[in-house]
Amino acid sequence: MGLLFELETRLEQELPLRLQGTLQESLDQYRPQCRDCGLLMHRHHRYFRSIATRYGLLELQIPVFRCGDCRSMTSGAELLGDEERYRRYSKKLPTGP
């Protein structure tokens, strides 16, 4: 087997792990401002979700935030964008096309 094949194979194996690590790091560093009062929100808890990507299934810990002042809450899932949040973001494995 040639060098190109070996490099492609290694990259195919590493890419999902790197993608998951980078995405989880972004979620961990995210700290939103409250939409109601403008204060920085605090991490309240996390929940686990699987996200289907073209590189495979990613297992992520999605943070949930609460405002210490007005008690409103939001999720780090908003970083995924509307399409991913509503179409690809799910507890369940994707089924069908």
Per-residue pLDDT of the chain (97 residues; tens, 9 = 90+): 688 888 888 888 888 888 889 989 988 888 888 888 888 898 888 888 888 888 888 888 888 899 988 888 888 777 776 545 444 444 444 455 5
What domain range is 22 assigned to?
3-90
Distance CA 68, CA 6 (A): 52
In a domain, residue 18? The reply is: yes
Question: CA-CA distances (angstroms) from residue 9 to 12, 16, 19?
Answer: 5, 12, 16
Entry pTM? 0.65
In a domain, residue 96? The reply is: no
Q: Are 64 and 76 in contact (CB under 8 A)?
A: yes
In a domain, residue 38? The reply is: yes
Give the count of domains, the chain: 1
